[in-house]
Amino acid sequence: MRLSSLRHLLACALLAATGIGMLPAAHAGVVIVGTRIIFDAKDKDRTIQLNNQDDAPAMIQAWIDAGDADAKASEIRVPFVLTPPLARIEPRQGQSLRLLHTPQGMPGLPVDRESVFYFNVLEIPPRRDAGPDENLLQLAVRSRIKLFYRPEGLEGKSREAPARLTWKQGRDADGAYLEVHNPSRYHVSLAAASVGGASASEPAMIAPGATSRMILDKAPLAGTAVQFDWIDDFGGHLPATATLTP
């Protein structure tokens, strides 16, 4: 099945539904091992493991996008190739995908900082016919995680980047906010951030050299310390503290 057809199926997210009844929540039977992928430039390829946790076989399609989750297949340009892009995974079995770097697919990729892409898996459940007294809803489930391409010879280490963040507190028409700047060559993903008892409503991923502003859920109390949790290369959430800059 073509990628565009599978995405259309995902947008509809409905293969069959009859009558009125309770509709079960969608869940991913096929899971990705890990919560992020780090691709070092010195490596020729990476192996990505998928596991089918259900008692039924699953058809999957996998692809990489450059940040636009709704981009058409014909518009996606990334320096990676996945093989196989389509696979059937038997019940309680796994499937390995091979990710290869192909620079010609996206020339001009920065060599002085990390780049981020996204790995997608679309799972199509097996078709099942509903009985005469049964309501049936089948959903196509999409999983999407970050893929970091890491050039060789970058200044510093990824684990050191969170400590280099600089923080400011301010207020505008939308309310109180935290502003964070990332001077490092690595992306820093935040799981939480707070100051003076006020929490950031949408913790951000801060790109190398970028500044991000996060709205606080209330006006913070007086204080100069920022508490935040950042996500490391293995998906772990690590706590840290920083001092606000004037």
Domain locations in the chain? 3-150, 158-243
pLDDT tens digits along 29-46: 999 999 999 999 999 899
DSSP-derived letter for residue 128 is -
pTM of the model: 0.84
CATH topology of domain 158-243: Immunoglobulin-like (2.60.40)
The CA distance from 124 to 10, in Å, is 9
pLDDT tens digits along 51-99: 999 999 999 999 999 999 999 878 899 999 999 999 999 999 999 999 9
Q: Which two tokens stand for residue 20?
A: 């009125």
pLDDT tens digits along 116-151: 999 999 998 766 655 566 655 567 889 999 999 999
Q: Yes or no: say if 169 and 44 are a contact pair by the CB < 8 Å rule.
A: no
Specify the CATH architecture of the domain 3-150: Sandwich (2.60)
Concatenate the DSSP letters of all residues of 42-93 into one string: T-SEEEEEEEE-SSS-EEEEEEEESS-TT--GGG---SEEEE-SEEEE-TT-
What confidence score (pLDDT) does residue 74 get? 81
Q: Which residues are CB-contacts of 39 (< 8 A; sequence separation ≥ 6)?
A: 46, 80, 99, 101, 147, 148, 149, 150
Whether the domain at 3-150 and the domain at 158-243 fall into the same CATH topology: yes
